[in-house]
Amino acid sequence: MERKLVTIVYADVAGYSRLIGLDEEGTIARLRTHQSDLIDPKISERAGRIVKTMGDGWLAEFGSPVEAVRCAAEIQVGMTAREAPIPEDRRIRFRIGVNLGDVIAEDGDVLGDGVNIAARLQTLADVGGICVSRSVRDQVRDRLPVGFEYLGEQSVRNIARPIPCYRVRFEGAAPAVAKPGTRKAKLVVGLATAGLAVFLGIAVWLLTGNDLVQRDRDRTAVAAPTPQAAKADGEKEAPRLSIVVLPFRNLSNDPDQDYFADGLTDDITTDLSRISGSFVISRNTAFTFKGTLNDEKTIARILGVRYLLEGSARRTGDQVRVNARLIDGSTGGQLWSDRFDHDVRDIAAFQDEVTGRIVNSLSLQLVASEAHKAQLAHPNNPDTVDLTMRGWWLLRQPADRQRMLDARQLFEDALDKNPQYGPGLLGLAMTYADMVFLTWSDDHDGDLERADAALTRALAVAPQNAIAAYIKARVLFGRSQLQDAIDSCETSLALDRNYASAYGFLAAMVRLAGHPERSLKLLEQAMLLSPRDPEMWTWLQYLGRAQSDLGQAEDAIANFKRAIAINPAAPAYQWTLLSTAYARAKRPAEAREAMDTFLRLSPHLMEGKSEGVVKAMQLQIRLAVRGYYLGIIDGDIGKQTRKALASFQRDQGIPVSEQADDETVSRLGLSQPSSGSVH
């Protein structure tokens, strides 16, 4: 079973039963002729694939939404022309629905909501017309000579949420109406006089680059567009975060190793489609370029994408080496590259590792590149996507309080322009949740509510979203719902097995649930998938905590110090973790020094707090410098603090109450709240 992101075109004959009743043999014969002479060639020409025919309709998949809509319109125009001699009541006319979505591919068929939505859109289309989903409209808009009329959110059978629908306005799907004052309009009038107005649609497509891609008979090369066509195509801006994964080359002497290179291409294509807001050309289209002679800029122009990923695989003895590089389609310049080596005896694990590392690296690189392009293209008038890209770029940097607030402002500005933009809502939710998690929030409960509200709106747009499930886990954790948070993080990984951030956060939570060994394994996976991740400082902290729980104090110290070195602007509580680790390693002087550094970096830690909270903070500090408390100094006597109290009480030989009773407070030297020094 394979998941992939494709464009589904679903077509059905309008009034098929009535047509069969009028002329069964004639209708079936004409429909078969249309299928063989018009529909199949058009789908093939636009790099699509017929998945199946259903007697009165057909289902096809395309790698590109642009080519899918272009093909659907050409078929509707062609049907109008071919059926023109037939009496009106006997004409075969299609309704067509088009949807861009995630599907399950199995034994040549495609299944899932992505297909079901296309089928429902078909029922909403006009006779001879096309109805598309918002995802298709967003990718095709301004890239084809068609218009889109919003039909609102339509509730349809067996789909849980309403579907935002658009009617495609194009010449040829219905009788054309001439517009005066243009050369094309005058041509239409002339053609209509001769009874040939139906061919206007074909003329429009030809005039706008209908045949930019010409393949020779053996399909081994793709010719560049003509200069005129290239110019017309170049004026259309490629979709943001649009990429094609070109077939990885097999550099081994053994042709049988093609399966490994092709498998890498398939896996990376599938997993890249999970990047929020991405537009990934399907593997079927990408493989038409296998062995071609075209350069990257030409391929990018033909496919209408901003980026290309290309690579190679070479096997030498028991070793396999994979090289990959990301190319800017507009310049041909290299934006990123990496190399991977592995023992061939564990080839399946290696393929998963390479795929995961490439996808995580590209998710960071593509967002950074798009944010930079947005700043250059629209410095004074950014649109919703520009603002969102810039916000996510800030979130992908090592954590910094002001940077977090700047990202929030960008997301709010983006949502002012489009309140239902999913990536913007997710970004906004992330800023609120992370401000709480990183102890920077001035309104803990309120910020969690705001994060939850943004998530609810985002999930209404995209209910099955790995990032949303991950953010939800952080919100639940902030509410001390540990098991629910773990479940939500597991859901995130079920939706995206390569989501490194989810592995890292799950590691933190399972450690708190009493499973430090599993925490280590999860962190190993996160670091393997994204070895240069901006979250590395947090993962090192989680690693140090798990190692400290397992008695590996010196290893914990090393990782806490690495975390501080990577991101010194991170919340100061990381020094409390280092203090505890030093204490557990029987290095009390260094433990006190680390805690004093924390207090120096937190001069207002206890200002405005009640006497009870101040005492609780002092309790946590004293427990930490004795090696018992591995948490945040927040004055909350929660599970971690009670666990530390129990350990201290057992070691002191006093009753284990898990409370700050008088004897415990006295043993810690805290009969009176101190001014902050721990000496």
Supply the CATH number for residue 319's domain: 3.40.50.10610
- DSSP one-letter code for 222: B
Same domain, 346 and 239: yes
Same domain, 307 and 445: no
Low-confidence winner among 96-105, 212-221, 463-472 (lowest mean pLDDT): 212-221
Same domain, 96 and 15: yes
pLDDT of res. 277: 62
Q: Which helix (H) or strand (E) element contains residue 411?
A: helix 401-417
Q: Please indicate whether residue 227 or residue 391 has the higher confidence score (pLDDT).
A: 391
- Most confident residue range from 107-111, 194-198, 278-282, 395-399: 107-111
Same domain, 471 and 330: no
How large a percentage of the chain has pLDDT more than 70? Answer: 83
Q: What share of the chain is helix, strand, coil (3-state, %, to 5)?
A: 55, 15, 30
How large a percentage of the chain has pLDDT more than 90? Answer: 35
Q: Is residue 71 part of a domain?
A: yes
Same domain, 25 and 162: yes
Low-confidence winner among 380-394, 519-533, 620-634 (lowest mean pLDDT): 380-394
**pLDDT over 70 (residue 448):** yes
**pLDDT over 90 (residue 163):** no
**pLDDT over 50 (residue 202):** no
For residue 7, the enclosing domain spans 2-174
Q: What's the burial of 318, exposed, middle or buried (CB within 10 Å: 0-12/13-18/19+)?
A: exposed
Pairing of strands 307-316, 242-245: parallel
Same domain, 291 and 264: yes
Separation CA 583–CA 90 (nearest Å)? 88
pTM of the full structure: 0.54
What integer is the mean pLDDT of 628-638?
Answer: 89
Report residue 425 as tokens: 């809502």
Closest CA to 1 of 101, 104, 102: 104
Pairing of strands 94-106, 307-316: unpaired
Low-confidence winner among 236-240, 279-283, 607-611 (lowest mean pLDDT): 236-240
For 544-595, the pLDDT digits (tens) are 999 999 999 999 999 999 999 988 878 888 999 999 999 999 999 999 999 9
How many distinct structural domains can be found in the chain? 3
**pLDDT over 90 (residue 507):** yes
For 67-112, the pLDDT digits (tens) are 999 999 999 988 988 888 888 888 999 999 999 988 888 878 888 8
Among 137, 156, 174, residue at a domain's last position: 174
Same domain, 20 and 121: yes
Q: Is residue 441 part of a domain?
A: yes
User: What three-state secondary structure class fits 269?
Assistant: helix
Same domain, 295 and 404: no
**pLDDT over 90 (residue 350):** no
